[in-house]
Amino acid sequence: MTSGVQTCHRPWSPCRKTLPGGQKLFHPSPLWVCCREGDGGLGILTCPSDCSLATATVSPPTRARERTHTERSEENVSLRLGAPTHIRGSRSRALPDRALVNCQHSSATFSTGERKRRPHGDRKSCEMGLQLRQTFEAAILTQLHPRSQIDIYVQVLQADGGTYAACVNAATLAVLDAGIPMRDFVCACSAGFVDGTALADLSHVEEAAGGPQLALALLPASGQIALLEMDARLHEDHLEQVLEAAAQAARDVHTLLDRVVRQHVREASILLGD
């Protein structure tokens, strides 16, 4: 585990095995995932070199369902994922050839400087939930779980820009650890064009400047785009520059997530005696 990582204040289950040197391992699945960066957020980097500041750790939750927590100095997202299960509610919602991906997004009252009640299901939350659903429908092999439902619940605890990217990267770790088959990692990043310069990982202040902003969710191995959205007009001469800044940051995040997943698999193999 990487030292200096801010962990979540949740009770952890007892460790199952202690390695030489005192390192403790926990049951490999399901996991509590805590990710943090020094200056940028997980997947919302200020520049590619910031990947050297990125850290991630994994540890288990106290309940059976998958939980993920991503955090940076100004961005904090908590996520809960339910493994494929039977359709709840009306059976008419069941899809005969694939799983139904259900994504719900909400923000805590204290998530921003403006302390106001944010009702569950408001317009902004519904839009974010729809974006997340479209992203993971493109990445999850839903045809392997027909007539079932995959639930992804996201709550923003502290927001400072790049919320969509933080949610996507947290959900990617949770889906992978839950054993739900995917085509590839989904790595997301926000980008913008400010004062003639393409920037990745826009903070709240940079977003409030009013320049064009872009959200990108990328499947790094194939280079396919799961979701691409821009909220303002941008001259075509600058589009490629902004898109490449977001794509490069997403690829850097993929390197980080891949390293964390492989490390966890090695630890799980030791724990299981393989």
Number of domains into which the chain is organized: 1
* Mean pLDDT value of segment 208-217: 85
- What single-letter amino acid sits at 84? P
Q: Are 67 and 32 in contact (CB under 8 A)?
A: yes
In a domain, 218, yes or no: yes
Query: Exposed, middle or buried, 53 (CB in 10 Å: 0-12/13-18/19+)?
Result: middle
Condensed to tens digits (0 to 9), the pLDDT of residues 151-161 reads 998 888 777 77
Residues 6+ apart with CB under 8 A from 134: 226, 227
In a domain, 17, yes or no: no
**How far apart (Å, rounded) are the C-alpha atoms in residues 111 and 152?**
19
In a domain, 6, yes or no: no
Position 186 pLDDT exceeds 70 = yes
* Mean pLDDT value of segment 235-241: 88
Position 61 pLDDT exceeds 60 = no
In a domain, 97, yes or no: yes
Say what the pLDDT of residue 137 is. 93
* Mean pLDDT value of segment 220-233: 90
pLDDT class of 254 with cuts at 50, 70, 90: very high
Condensed to tens digits (0 to 9), the pLDDT of residues 71-99 reads 444 556 776 777 788 887 777 788 889 99
**How far apart (Å, rounded) are the C-alpha atoms in residues 39 and 1?**
19
In a domain, 66, yes or no: yes
Percent of the chain residues past pLDDT 70, beyond the cut:
68
Average pLDDT, the chain: 72
CATH number at residue 259: 3.30.230.70
Q: Are 49 and 57 in contact (CB under 8 A)?
A: no
In a domain, 9, yes or no: no
In a domain, 3, yes or no: no
Say what the pLDDT of residue 250 is. 92
CA angle 46, 48, 51 (to 5 degrees): 90
In a domain, 4, yes or no: no
Q: Which of 43, 44, 35 lies closest to 206 in space, CA to CA?
A: 44
Residues 6+ apart with CB under 8 A from 85: 148, 149, 151
Instruction: Please give the residue range of the domain that contains residue 98.
Output: 22-272
Query: Exposed, middle or buried, 258 (CB in 10 Å: 0-12/13-18/19+)?
Result: middle
Condensed to tens digits (0 to 9), the pLDDT of residues 102-160 reads 998 887 777 766 776 766 677 888 999 999 999 999 999 999 989 899 999 888 877 77
Q: Which of 151, 149, 150 lies closest to 94 in space, CA to CA?
A: 149
Say what the pLDDT of residue 231 is. 83
Residue 199: left if φ>0, alpha if ψ -120 to 50, beta else—which one?
Answer: beta
